[in-house]
Each structure stands twice: as structure tokens, then as C-alpha cells.
Amino acid sequence: MPAQAGPTATVPPGSGRSGRSAPTAAELLEFARRTADDAELIASLPLDPEGRTWVRLDGPAGSEAWLIGWPPGTGTGWHDHADSVGAFLTASGALREHSLAARLPTDGWKTLELTEGIDRSRTLTAGRGRAFGRHHVHEVLNESTTEHAVSVHAYYPPLPRIRRYSRTGAVLRLEQTEVPEDWQ
């Protein structure tokens, strides 16, 4: 997630569940879809040619949500969202997600050798998104050389931590663990 917090925007009523139970990853994806359909909100995100921009949104049922702008050639690097389920959807442009189709141990390791066949890759054009479960390891990229992308992301519970990884071939290495205080 971002290195610092941005402003908060309010999403129209009816955008989330009315109950007190935790939203599912599918419900977070539906929230992202409805939010991405708000052309005025998407257009209000300031875009910077040098780095990602973001606005924090009010997500459904206590979830954390973000509207993120991606300049050409930017990305997240490999990371996970720890114990949060989540979803993201491309509102404009296109994003590429590389992910691992395997559940990794959550703690107690610094370096893992990945087995063959667990890499997944997908391009998410405007209107396309995906939901994911806890400990989902991925990286998200705007591979365009000319066009910004904008996406909507939602997580529940609000991000308790993010683990960042480096990857060389089949070797994944835990580099850093961030907590919300690191993003202030």
C-alpha cells in the first residue's frame, strides 16, 4: 500500500453491506466494481507522471479501500496483504498482475524456493478485477509506456501489515514487513 496516507473520499450510500459481519472478498470486488463505475470519482483522482497517487475511500463494513493512480511503468513489487482478504478492479487503463497459485507459510522463513507451475499472470483491463484470499502473494504493474491506469482496491480487515518480497527466478525472499504506522 502507499507509503503515506492520502485524503478520504466518501462513496455513495448503498455501496457496502448494511450488516456488521465482515465483507467477503467477492463483496469487496463488487464494491470495487460499483466504485469504478463512478466516473466523477475516478476523474477526481490527481495523476502524477512520476509516481502513484491515491485517495483513501470509505469501504463497506469497516473495510479499507483505496483509489490508486498508476503512471506508465509503475508497479508494487512482490507483496502480500497478510491476514486481509481483498479485491481490486481496474477503472481505466490496464494493469498486469503476477501472482503465485500456492499458499506460502505465513511466518518463520526468509527465503523460499518456489516450485514450477505456480506462477500466474493476468491482464486486467478497465472493468476487470479479481478477489483474493489471505496471504495472496502478487505484484501489480502498469506495463503501458504511455497511459495511466486507475484502480480501486479494498481489504478486510483493514491492512494489519504488508510483507514485501524480492524475487530472483524461483527464489522468493522476505525483505520487509510494514505496519500501518509506516504509511503515515
Q: What is the CATH number of the domain that holds 22?
A: 2.60.120.10
Q: Does 172 map to a domain?
A: no
Instruction: Determine the structural domain holding residue 53 and report its residue range.
Output: 8-102+121-161
What are the per-10-residue average pLDDT scores of the chain (184 residues)?
A: 42 44 96 98 96 95 96 96 95 98 84 94 98 94 98 95 95 92 76
Of 147, 181, 1, nearest in space to 81 by CA: 1
Report the pLDDT value the prediction gives residue 20, as an integer from 0 to 100.
61
Overall number of domains in the chain: 1
pTM of the model: 0.86
Q: Does 125 map to a domain?
A: yes
Query: How many angstroms separate the CA atoms of 163 and 98, rounded?
Result: 16
Question: 157: cis peptide before it, omega within 30°?
Answer: yes
Report the pLDDT value the prediction gives residue 69, as an integer from 0 to 100.
98
- Give the cell for residue 161: 501489515
Q: Does 41 map to a domain?
A: yes
Cβ atoms of 152 and 57 within 8 Å: the answer is yes
